[in-house]
Amino acid sequence: MKYEKEQRGDTGCLVKAGNVCFGGKQLVLIAGPCAIESREFMLETATAVKEAGATMLRGGAFKPRTSPYEFQGLSFKGLEYLAEARELTGLPVVTEVMDTVDIAAVAEVADMVQVGSRNMHNYALLKSVGECGKPVLLKRGMCATIREFLCAAEYVLQGGCNDLVLCVRGIRTFEEEVRFTMDLAAVPLLKEQSWMPVMVDPSHGTGKLSLVPSMARAAVACGADGVMMEVHCHADQALCDGQQSASPEDFSKMVGEMRLVAEAVGRTV
């Protein structure tokens, strides 16, 4: 399997996307709204997260929503706003692609292409994303085992992608107090079994804002190569995932807390 450490050879285990490097001493902090909702909100949030210490920007233009009647994202217009946010802040951007027909358009704008939890089992998409020439961020399916997750990664690697980063998010369990159960043991487990850097998304890890700061600290403590979290300047007006979105002030505080934990485990923020 290409995901095994022995197969990686001289390439090493670092993955670069834009000007950030995953898997090194310095943690990658990806922040931004769940969805790109307007030019104004995107640029305002991008400026605020940069100020607070983010090293990469996120925002969905194509949104995988549970109900077809919910906000589906601004699609191509959203990509334009995301590109503008990168110009403004200098931060590289990651955004999700849901359909093979959109890969070229997304890859043109994105520094890193995201495959979300719901598409982790979409093998046609995984193969094509692996061929797109851009670094890829692959999220764990909410009902996927570690082996299924690694096999999904294998599809991307088979497409020719050498720059793949995994992202752990919550999984479905019998627990009803949270939207998802944050399986942080997946971080050291994935690192034992593969060479890919591992990110943690504490926002989709729990679905509950009050739990995000502690899970972000724990992610750093258990060896994650960074975190990706949802931050919104006006979470009360968010069209998507407002209940788990941090304010820029919350995020800034979390960056300070993660920095302390990072120092304790020999990393930097």
**Site residues for ligand PEP per CB under 6 A:** 34, 60, 64, 96, 116-118, 139, 169, 201, 204
Q: Closer to ligand PEP by CB, 201 or 225: give it.
A: 201
Using only C-alpha atoms, what is the Rg of the chain?
17
96, interface contact from ligand PEP, Mn ion, none, CB < 5-8 Å by kind:
ligand PEP
Which residue's structure tokens are 């090493």? 12
Q: Closer to ligand PEP by CB, 65 or 127: give it.
A: 65
Least gap, CB of 66 to Mn ion (angstroms):
11
Neighbouring-strand partners of residue 246: 231
Least gap, CB of 55 to ligand PEP (angstroms):
17
194, interface contact from ligand PEP, Mn ion, none, CB < 5-8 Å by kind:
none
Q: Closer to ligand PEP by CB, 13 or 146: give it.
A: 146
Q: Closer to ligand PEP by CB, 27 or 30: give it.
A: 30
Which residue's structure tokens are 């709204």? 33
Closest to 157 in 3D by CA, of 179, 182, 191, 129: 129
Cα distances from 83 to residues 16, 50, 90, 93, 109, in angstroms, run 19, 15, 10, 8, 6
**Cβ–Cβ < 8 Å for 242, 35:** no
* Residues whose CB falls within 8 Å of the CB of residue 6, separated by 6 or more in sequence, listed in order: none
Least gap, CB of 136 to Mn ion (angstroms):
18
Least gap, CB of 113 to ligand PEP (angstroms):
12
139, interface contact from Mn ion, ligand PEP, none, CB < 5-8 Å by kind:
ligand PEP
Q: Closer to ligand PEP by CB, 78 or 130: give it.
A: 78
Neighbouring-strand partners of residue 167: 139, 199
Would you list the DSSP string of 105-171?
A: HHHHH-SEEEE-GGGTT-HHHHHHHHTSSS-EEEEPPTT--HHHHHHHHHHHHHTT---EEEEE--B
In the complex, which residues of this chain contact Mn ion (CB under 5 A)? 34, 241
225, interface contact from ligand PEP, Mn ion, none, CB < 5-8 Å by kind:
none
User: How many C-beta neighbours within 10 Å does residue 6 have?
Assistant: 7
Q: Closer to Mn ion by CB, 34 or 97: give it.
A: 34
169, interface contact from ligand PEP, Mn ion, none, CB < 5-8 Å by kind:
ligand PEP
Neighbouring-strand partners of residue 168: 200
Least gap, CB of 263 to ligand PEP (angstroms):
28
Q: Closer to ligand PEP by CB, 66 or 210: give it.
A: 66
116, interface contact from ligand PEP, Mn ion, none, CB < 5-8 Å by kind:
ligand PEP
